[in-house]
Structure 1
Amino acid sequence: MAFSQTNLAWSTLLELGGRGRLHDRLARALRTAIRDGRLPEGAAVPPSRALAEELGCSRWVVTEAYGQLVAEGYLSARVGSATRVAWSPAASPPVPRASRTPSRPVVRYDLAPGLPDLRAFPRRRWADAVRSVIGSAVHYDLDVPDPAGHAVLRSTLAQYLRRSRGADADATSVFVCAGVTDGLVRTCRALRADGITDLAVEDPGWPRLRDAAGSAGSRVHPVPVDDDGLRVDDLARTPARAVVVGAAHQFPTGTVLSPARRAGLARWARDVAGFVVEDDYDAEFRYDHHPVAVMQGMDPGRVVLLGTVSKTLSPALGLGWLVAPTAMVPGLRAANPVATAPPVLDQLALAAFIDRGWYDAHLRASRRRFRVRRDLLLTTLAGRIPRASASGTAAGLHVLLHLPDDVDTAATVRAAASAGLRLADLDDYRVHRGPGRALVLGYGNLGDTEVPAAVELLRESLRPPID
């Protein structure tokens, strides 16, 4: 069999207790480790010199033990190669080798929401940013990181959010986190410590936010959304004193919170001495005019702002931010004593990426790309599935495709998956099942040339067909 060259089994713990000569005890310990399966077949044992140094004994002791186990068939030794385990317990199933391909179904076309264009990730400039901070980071940058994030990135984010999103932010109010979900968990813990245990969420909405709030101990209350966004009157009838809302671009309906609803929501927060948690997840992408500014700038004392690069760069980076009201900052730190910020070098790389203007340039290019792709998708849908209708503000990375009431959207999603097309059912984002059948179609992680074929496959997957 082909052995891994990296499986050196350096960390195996050897119990050398008992009576007898040291080389006999070492042989016995290795034999036991092999029989127990802690040293699997094919694993390389440490070189005799290295193991002797670790054990504080002579090299002769190790070579004698190895020689004994080679003679017994537990080890095999070849000139010019590592000494390896040659035996495995008869009752143990073979250890499967790691697959080079993922086990998930093959996806030909990705119309599920939630991803940017991963093909367009700015690899060269991100690598340049990483290299620059590795070369320029001073020794204290490599110390135990501040759970709130590195001061350089916090300052950079505050400046960026002030100029691009109309936020009222400074470095002391910014916390670096792993993304919107992490930021919401931290916020919910701080709210609970302040006596706020009931939290409202939009319905339909992103399920992970509901789950995150529940995991932090909050009682979650779904509130319906209409064409003007969250229905503040319905919110006021819940016991909630905090609410999570996508003001600039609601997911998944694609609506924008109307000015009247914004004012009503801010008034509600003041009346109940509560907070609005603003999920600003993809607001950088607006195609009909400039992005709508954040609510947080209207009332920074009552609005917590959450953001992330997951929709602009890549979710693999695990970088996001939380802008807290000044009065909440001490409570956030106290309520999250074991919170950890993302790796410091990644934080510094993002700061450099923003400071050098590369983030703004990437966003400009992404907006142009997504505007064209969205238009192409809508045109193709209208031509190939005329009985369906798309809705949603010209923003973000998804549209809502409304289908006739007799369409089984769950069956459609399953049929599409078997054909290699990823889809998302609107019902998967609802707490309370509402009227109308719809699919949530993401176009971020889809090549322009793939749009016609993906739409045709969608048409063929509809159950029942609606031609």
Structure 2
Amino acid sequence: MTWHVMLEVVRDGPVPLGAQIADQLRQQVERGLLTPGTRLPSSRQLAKDLRVSRSVVVEAYEKLTGEGLLESVRGSGTRVAAHADTRIRKSVVLVDRAVPRVRFNLLPGTPNPATFPHREWTTSYQRAVESARWQGLGYPPLLGVDRLRTELVSYLGRVRGVLGSPDDTMVTGGFAHALGLVCAALRELGIDRLAVEDPSHDRQRQFIEENGVRTVAVPVGPDGLEIEPLYASGVRAVLVTPSHQFPLGVPMSPQRREELVRWARDTGGWIVEDDYDGGLWLEQRGRHLALQPTGPDRVIYAGTASKLLAPGLRLGWMVLPPRLTALMERVRVRRDLGCDGLMQLAFADFLRSGMLDAHLRRMRTRYRAQHSALMRAVERCLPAATLVGPVAGLHAYAVLPEGVDEEALVDRALGLSVLIKGGRIFHDRPHTARPGLVLGYTALGRSGIEEAISRIGQAYEQQHGGICRAS
């Protein structure tokens, strides 16, 4: 099939042909004329339409792919990137006014959809359809399809150190689904308060409250969640991100992990471990395994495919302390009838075949390069900021100097077509927190990262003067 796009080039002008093509495509994306997912002509076809060399078109496509505006999917050609939708709803960042379209989206937490292993996943899903019997086509068990629970226990044991049994493993529709079940189970146990890290995800705190459980903020220090305030709070359950704390990125130290499990045993409390990006540790050393093996009798371990593959799969899991399994099943039977059986069988095949391991190996290599690009860009263009925490996951946390107007900086960056989140929104007391930025860097190519940070540096310079160094 032939695809068309309206472009014109001036052969005798001062601007190179490739730059003309890239500039026109970029403008059409920014104006919304080319919407996310729109398929573009092949480089060969567009070169023929414009009567230019194919290498000129390839150069333009590669430039825009590096900026994150286009994505090349094997077997599907070149498309406008799904995350290039600049019409962000105002509830994402600002409350009082609409958000203009942006070129650079640095919101944290979502992998680049262009990296999804389409061919491998299609292979696994086809095998699932072909092999499906009752568990794939009928109502699945509440705990999940047997084949997937078995594969999950094997995978989590060798990759995250998790101790568990298929009989105490539950498949969920992502972490939010799992957290809703946990909140209901806590209420059944007579627990109506859940300690959360300070800072932590603001929407997660809201979700917990809406599920009938009050949140109690407990500060995070250099070694992770502070234990003395946890004891003082009197709570009997706590939600933590010990391997890569969100948003600060600090891992919980081995001593702090032991102290946390001791708190749970002393108080009869429960620990909910959100291992939200487990498997995406990017440093060569110092990898942190899950907290769960330190106290499998007191830790509810929860993971998800959202950061490893794609949030659209709606796949998550919990490894439960055996004494809670029956309770979680009773809670669940009142809320839903299980998760997509075919999707579970496909993911089981994806795990068993080693394709997830291979995919994550590729992603770690890619993300290391992108994080290195981020570090260089921050050092060059935003030297007043300091990146903290290890190289891991899908975001980095940048601490800003005291006195910086974080909200104004975010607004100025937005005016330069860069969408970022300030760090204060994640704190229980935002106005007392030190200013910072949460930088989701994995959805952009390296040139896009550099351009985005350069624009944030320009925004900073507009506020403070002379702080952004030229490239």
Tell me if 1:439 matches 2:437. yes
Alignment of 1:253-264 (within 5 A): 253-264=248-259
Alpha-carbon distance, 1:190 to partner: 0.9
What is the CA distance between 1:326 and its match in structure 2?
Answer: 0.2
CA distance in 2, matches of 1:339, 1:325: 21
Is the 1:459–1:465 contact (alpha carbons within 8 Å) kept by the matching residues of 2?
Answer: no
1:183: how far off?
A: 0.9
Name 2:101's counterpart in structure 1. Answer: 106
Task: Within 5 Å, give how 1:234-313 maps onto structure 2.
Answer: 234-288=229-283, 289=285, 291-313=287-309
CA distance in 2, matches of 1:240, 1:334: 24
* RMSD (CA atoms): 1.6
Asked whether the equivalents of residues 427 and 433 of structure 2 are also in contact (C-alpha less than 8 Å), the reply is: no
Match of 2:327 among 331, 336, 345: 331
Q: CA deviation at 1:209?
A: 2.3
Q: Is the 8 A contact 2:106 2:441 kept in 1?
A: yes
Q: Distance in 1 between matches of 2:303 and 2:134?
A: 29
Q: Match for residue 382 of structure 1? A: 379
The structural deviation recorded for 1:140 is 4.8
Using the TM superposition, give the Cα deviation of residue 102 of structure 1 relative to its aligned residue in structure 2, in angstroms. 7.8
SS at match of 1:152: helix
On the 8 A contact 1:283/1:291 being kept in 2, the answer is no
Contact kept in structure 1, 2:139 and 2:338, CA below 8 Å = no
Q: Is the 8 A contact 2:424 2:434 kept in 1?
A: no
Q: Do the aligned residues in 2 keep the contact of 1:283 with 1:395 (CA within 8 Å)?
A: no
Q: What letter matches 1:399 in structure 2?
A: A
| 3-state SS of 1:237 partner | helix
- Per the alignment, do residues 392 and 290 of structure 1 end up closer, same or farther by CA in structure 2, a change over 3 Å counting? closer
Task: Select which of 351, 358, 362 maps to 1:361.
Answer: 358
Query: 1 CA distance for matches of 2:440 and 2:87?
Result: 23
Matching of residues 181-220 of structure 1 within 5 Å: 181-220=176-215
SS in 2 for 1:464: helix
- Distance in 2 separating the partners of 1:238 and 1:153: 38
Provide the rounded CA distance (Å) in 1 between the counterparts of 2:217 and 2:293. 25
Output one character per residue of 1:164-201: Cα deviation in whole Å (capped at 9) or x when no partner: 11001111111111212211111121121011222100
* SS of structure 1 residue aligned to 2:217: strand
Match of 2:141 in 1: 146
Q: In the aligned structure 2, how far is the partner of 1:156 from the partner of 1:324?
A: 16
Change (3 A) 1:102 1:421: closer
Q: Distance in 2 between matches of 1:377 and 1:158?
A: 35
**CA positional deviation for 1:342:** 2.8
> Could you say what secondary structure the match of 2:421 adopts?
coil
Which range moves more in the overlay, 313-322 or 139-148?
139-148
Structure 2 partner of 1:449: 447
Query: 1:465 corresponds to which residue?
Result: 464
Secondary structure of 2:128's partner?
A: helix
Uncovered stretches (5+) of structure 1, i.e. residues with no partner: 1-100
Q: Distance in 2 between matches of 1:316 and 1:417?
A: 27
The answer on whether the counterparts of 1:175 and 1:322 sit within 8 Å (CA) in structure 2 is yes
Query: Partner of 1:413: helix, strand, or coil?
Result: helix
Q: Distance in 2 between matches of 1:102 and 1:348?
A: 35
Residue deviations 1:300-336 (CA, integer Å, cap 9, x gap)? 1100001001111111111111111000001111122
**Are 1:426 and 2:423 matched, yes or no?**
yes
The aligned counterpart of 1:49 is none
Task: Name the larger-Rg structure.
Answer: 1
The CA distance in 1 between the partners of 2:464 and 2:353, in whole Å, is 51
Distance 1:152 1:167 in 2: 18
Q: Which runs of 5+ in 2 are unaligned?
A: 1-84, 89-99
Counterpart CA distance in 1 for 2:372 and 2:213 is 40
Matched residue count: 367
Equivalent of residue 313 in structure 2, options 293, 317, 329:
317
Q: 1:131 aligns with which of 126, 134, 142?
A: 126
Per the alignment, residue 167 of structure 2 pairs with: 172
Give the match's secondary structure for 2:204.
helix
Task: From 132, 144, 163, give the equivalent of 2:158.
Answer: 163
CA distance in 1, matches of 2:340, 2:135: 14
DSSP-derived class of the 1:276 partner: strand
What displacement does 1:430 show? 1.0
Return the TM-score normalized by structure 2. 0.75
Residue 336 of structure 1 aligns to a residue in which SS?
helix
Match of 1:342 in 2: 339
Partners of 2:163 and 2:131 in 1: CA distance: 30
